[in-house]
Structure 1
């Protein structure tokens, strides 16, 4: 009996070890990287004793005067390369290392994000606006990945849905924000890079935003879902999609709304629907809301502009100024535009504002520092969401 029990335990131990084959059981002291200090300085560490030169590359380095966004690290006697920043502003940042010309992620930081086909480490410097990006001790909503049928595109597709805290136990109907990603993104972009769930959880807990659903569809009409999440397999996403301005995404948007309004407890009137997007998603927001002027009362256009896609003959893009006029005549609660001063689309966005000015089209405009960045888009969501459904 004892021998049988011993054999069983031994077998169990081997099974656990095999199941955790990537776990480090060495017991060696781990390197802490990044280490965020109380004064919001940050120390990075990278063990590479045989490397000749190691650089730190990060989006935060420009605020330290390092315009190229990289700085050389120093190696100590143990072969660990280090770099400590001066005080950083509260924000979510990304970084990587370059060791002897090879770009590598930080092996001591398990937190990553994927932007199109680039994977980088991330960390949060606390305080200020970054408190919205953290998981705080507040009631939390639910994030679901749902499949729906798109008759227009003749395929099943995936989207991400955020339902607010208490949705499951409530009998209440909620308003909806449809939130659209930019070029190269997919239905995972806003929830990961944009920290949508954390921002909404915190704004709702603070009483600054109404409880709402946030629906984040895949805006690439040729895709079913994000890489690795569909029969298309583990493909590498491209920034440029062949159908990104074909009009098919805009044409099929009614399928998204139909699915949400049939599957979730939501309010179905114009005053309870909002649509917003960044870059390509901002363009889609302009086109969708103009083509369906009785559908949305709130529009948010982040770092985007109106233009005529080349070689596009979709009916969605025809007579767009006439459609905007009709949208204006149907009235709406808010048309909110925002862009960074150094955004590469700044001129085009200015032309778009001038068009609205010439039409006496009422809108709210925000101009921020910085460019075409997730730092700005998180800010815009944080400011736009509290304005909705009031």
Structure 2
């Protein structure tokens, strides 16, 4: 009798837990957010019956000027959601063009992610939701039904920095099953980024897979290092454990990274089947990574045949006194005289670094140093940098 009573109690308890779990599950499933409509408008929804106000903020909205560590830059606008009689807040966007977008909700002044959208990316210390409107260049950001490359997180020894360091490496489709040697693109992140930035925010693997499948880019290895020389890996991935990422950590732009960059090249060329010569090496980077690209490529002036500066910071700061920054004009002249296949500069018209890039191009013009220049709409954003990679990669190793 006692046994039957115990089983009955356990069964009733299970029913209660199951009922609650199913109620929570089905309640969540009743809300679709974001919902992308056939006309490429998007509806955002949030169940928050007790909230007094809900807004959505994201790069699909008109930009506004915001203060940042870099001064005033373009930032995402905001839009108000309206609440229905069921406590669900909604906002429907205008028709959106092809792009990978990010967004967050602001509930009574508190910024948070969309609980109905599990797809997230981290940019420095901010986490936002993402969605894709397909078509045009945004189709390169999708995972399509094509052959795929491999993304590996490796650890390499850096004698110059005195530590093992984590690095992200993309190998093209078929690498593992072939004996072929491949060219290499070294792709550098901006301030606040790390070895995760280009692969997550930049959609590097998807872009390269799609360009290679379409025959628009040569199969190549893409190496994405961490430029923060005081870290062995991205926050949460290395020996320093879990801590809040910072926009600018010490020693990122003092010449240490550039001076020890050959540690990375030596690791790649010792561990991967690569064509280890100037004609088969490219280097490119965004913002701070463009700064590193400019200085690495001239400091090692006979190493890279392809150089890409995306929204690049250019000249050293006053407190940067490393040997790397001595004789900039002389090393640029040596780089020019050694010859190269492509020196590529791209920047948005409203980028806060636009003036610095204009002045740098004037310097190159005065030297007679040839380059290709692309000027796009918009500012200092991943929206531009993904396009720059999509445009730059097909020009390599042709």
Normalising by the residue count of structure 1, what TM-score does the alignment of the two structures yield?
A: 0.92
Matches of 1:163 and 1:274, distance apart in 2: 15
Matches of 2:158 and 2:279, distance apart in 1: 25
Cα deviation, residue 24, structure 1: 8.3
Matches of 2:361 and 2:30, distance apart in 1: 53
Who is 1:44 aligned against?
Answer: 44
- For the residue of structure 2 that corresponds to 1:202, the secondary structure is helix
2:291 to 283, 287, 301: 283
Task: Give 5+ residue unaligned stretches, structure 2.
Answer: 1-6, 65-74
Who is 1:4 aligned against?
Answer: none
Who is 2:307 aligned against?
Answer: 299
Matches of 1:91 and 1:306, distance apart in 2: 28
Query: Deviations along 1:136-188, whole A, 9 cap, x unmatched?
Result: 01100000000000000001100100000000001000000000000000000
Cα deviation, residue 30, structure 1: 3.4
Q: Judging changes above 3 Å, is the alpha-carbon distance between structure 1 residues 130 and 313 closer, same or farther for their aligned structure 2 residues? A: same
The answer (yes or no) to whether the contact 1:182–1:278 under 8 Å persists in 2 is: yes
Query: Deviations along 1:338-361, whole A, 9 cap, x unmatched?
Result: 000000000001000000000000
Matched, 1:246 2:254: yes
Matched, 1:330 2:371: no
1:1-390 to structure 2, matched below 5 A, reads 26-28=25-27, 29-62=29-62, 69-390=77-398
- For the residue of structure 2 that corresponds to 1:61, the secondary structure is coil
- For the residue of structure 1 that corresponds to 2:62, the secondary structure is helix
- For the residue of structure 1 that corresponds to 2:240, the secondary structure is coil
Who is 2:72 aligned against?
Answer: none
Matches of 2:144 and 2:127, distance apart in 1: 25
Query: Deviations along 1:195-226, whole A, 9 cap, x unmatched?
Result: 00000000000000000000000011111100
Cα deviation, residue 104, structure 1: 1.2
Query: Deviations along 1:34-57, whole A, 9 cap, x unmatched?
Result: 011111100000010011111111
- For the residue of structure 2 that corresponds to 1:71, the secondary structure is strand
Tell which deviates more after alignment, 227-236 or 364-373: 227-236
Task: Give 5+ residue unaligned stretches, structure 1.
Answer: 1-6
- For the residue of structure 2 that corresponds to 1:62, the secondary structure is coil
Q: Judging changes above 3 Å, is the alpha-carbon distance between structure 1 residues 86 and 25 closer, same or farther for their aligned structure 2 residues? A: closer
Cα deviation, residue 23, structure 1: 10
Matches of 1:352 and 1:206, distance apart in 2: 35
Matches of 2:285 and 2:161, distance apart in 1: 21
The answer (yes or no) to whether the contact 1:305–1:352 under 8 Å persists in 2 is: no
Matches of 1:108 and 1:86, distance apart in 2: 21
How well do the aligned residues superpose, as a CA RMSD in angstroms? 1.9
Matches of 2:313 and 2:52, distance apart in 1: 46
Matches of 1:382 and 1:206, distance apart in 2: 12
Matches of 2:315 and 2:182, distance apart in 1: 33
Matches of 1:30 and 1:92, distance apart in 2: 25
Dislocated runs of 4+, deviation >6 Å: 22-25
Matches of 1:26 and 1:224, distance apart in 2: 40
Normalising by the residue count of structure 2, what TM-score does the alignment of the two structures yield?
A: 0.91
Q: Judging changes above 3 Å, is the alpha-carbon distance between structure 1 residues 243 and 24 closer, same or farther for their aligned structure 2 residues? A: farther
Cα deviation, residue 374, structure 1: 0.1
The answer (yes or no) to whether the contact 2:307–2:344 under 8 Å persists in 1 is: yes
The answer (yes or no) to whether the contact 1:174–1:212 under 8 Å persists in 2 is: yes
Q: Judging changes above 3 Å, is the alpha-carbon distance between structure 1 residues 363 and 24 closer, same or farther for their aligned structure 2 residues? A: farther
Cα deviation, residue 333, structure 1: 0.2
Matches of 2:53 and 2:154, distance apart in 1: 46
